[in-house]
Amino acid sequence: MLFPTATFAIFFLIVLPLSWLTMPWPHRWRPFIIVASYVFYSWWDWRFVLLLAGCTLWNQILAVRIWRSRVPSQRKALLVLALAGNLGVLGYFKYYDFFVSSTDNLASTVGLDMPLGLKSIVLPVGISFFTFMAISYVVDAYRGDFEPTTLEKFAVYLSFFPHLVAGPIVRPSELIPQIDTPRNPRRVDTSRAFYLIATGLFKKVVIANYLASSIVDEVFAAPGQHSSLEILIAVYAYAVQIYADFSGYTDIAIGIALLLGFTFPQNFDSPYAAVSVQDFWRRWHMTLSRWLRDYVYIPLGGNRGGTILTYRNLLLTMLIGGLWHGAAWTFVVWGGLHGIALVGERWRADRRGLPASAPTGWGRWRARVITFHFVCLAWIFFRADSFGAAWDMIEGLFTGWGEASPLVTSGVLLAILVGIGSQYLPARFPRVVMARFSRLPVLGQATVLALSLMLTSVMGPEGVAPFIYFQF
């Protein structure tokens, strides 16, 4: 069920009042919100609700057993079993065809015939997100960081519809305690919620959809038919599109959760204002960055094993992060490029013998420009359907200057400028807007919201494309 649709609006107008009406009675509210979340998830294909329910039951049983066990070997075996179940499900649905085709191609290069059949498996929406949240739950129980809760509360945590299909990736300690906390609808930060929803809708429906339909999809589909200028602008446009699309989704999700009385962690913080690749990952998909750090990088050894092992761990973490995004070698290369950049930045800091420090003055702007263009280069592999298409894009950047560029319009350039320029607004800007909005009378707030929705509807292309991160 897509957020920017009339279907979801009707769904939420039913769920919101019923949620607050039942919230004083937790034994009524929890089943209600689980059912509502399952309806939300089943709108595309009801059969995948069984997968979500099975994942919930599997991880709850093993997390409780891990917590109660006092035998280290048994606890470790239970953890391995839980991880094997989660990664096995993720691997089957997301990576089966990828590994089969890769194995078949490798076998063919050495003259072996391995008749492994592809299954064209349908990928359940959001499986990567709720699988990672489930892994957090069992690993935190194993580490003793979080005591497993009841099955009902865990089901709310895993299926809560605002974050279910595209994040943010919320930790057990961030959401489950809120389920037990009494909430007052009069204390909801509605100004922030409406601001996030309105800006999120604008970013998705207007900026992201417009850039996709106006230049990105056409150029990436056939780069050889376009000029170097169109390819360059398409790369910039995709950088803005994926930011506006994904941050727009999480802004809406955080705003919806706020209206329901829950607080989610921030997921984006002006990533294209980053001064290094490390800084970029502190600002981009922040909940995934934290997850990779705490559940991949640190278990691999982090920076505890010396310089070489630290570099290895950085590279492996980013390769895994790349593969998490999609079952294709282009995603692995994307993750590898970021891993190499992180290793390079760490090596440079180690060589100087000083901790990395943020540049100042003109050096800060130079670092921002370099970082942004590196990120854009990596986005080519992320967006391209194949290595061939990625190389065609890169080659086209140098071989087609002077040709006509009809896709480079003032509207496209303006959308790119707004998408990037908005990240350089003062940090106080949203707070000032929200404060002024909150001081308006109810009728004034309703008028402002109606006008913003009308503007978004008029400016956006016809129809709403699925969010990019639904495929992950």
Which residues are catalytically annotated? 325
User: What is the CA angle 225-459-369, rounded to 5?
Assistant: 60
| Contact assessment for residue 33 and residue 17, using Cβ atoms and an 8 Å cutoff | no
Please tell me whether residue 360 adopts helix, strand or coil conformation.
Answer: coil
Question: Tokens standing for 309?
Answer: 């092992």
Report the Cα 254 to chain-centroid distance in Å: 13
Backbone angles phi, psi at 116, to 5 degrees: -95, 125
User: What is the distance between the alpha carbons of residues 318 and 117, in angstroms, rounded to a whole number?
Assistant: 30
Counting beta carbons within 10 angstroms of the beta carbon of residue 112, is it exposed (0 to 12), middle (13 to 18) or buried (19 or more)? exposed
| Contact assessment for residue 133 and residue 170, using Cβ atoms and an 8 Å cutoff | yes
> Is the alpha carbon torsion for 106, 107, 109, 115 positive or negative?
negative
Q: How far is CA 344 from CA 271, 276, 329, 339, 380, in A?
A: 19, 11, 22, 9, 21
Q: How many helices (H) and strands (E) does the chain have?
A: 22, 0
User: What is the CA angle 143-145-150, rounded to 5?
Assistant: 105
Backbone angles phi, psi at 342, to 5 degrees: -65, -40
Counting beta carbons within 10 angstroms of the beta carbon of residue 24, is it exposed (0 to 12), middle (13 to 18) or buried (19 or more)? exposed
Q: Which residues contact 80 (CB under 8 A, 6 or more apart)?
A: none
Radius of gyration of the CA atoms of the chain, in A: 23
Counting beta carbons within 10 angstroms of the beta carbon of residue 402, is it exposed (0 to 12), middle (13 to 18) or buried (19 or more)? exposed
User: What is the distance between the alpha carbons of residues 367 and 334, in angstroms, rounded to a whole number?
Assistant: 20
Residue from 136, 139, 129, 131 nearest 172 by CA: 136
Q: What is the DSSP letter of 469?
A: G
Residue from 33, 460, 41 nearest 248 by CA: 460
Please tell me whether residue 276 adopts helix, strand or coil conformation.
Answer: coil
Residue from 273, 391, 392, 293 nearest 333 by CA: 391
User: What is the distance between the alpha carbons of residues 324 and 316, in angstroms, rounded to a whole number?
Assistant: 12
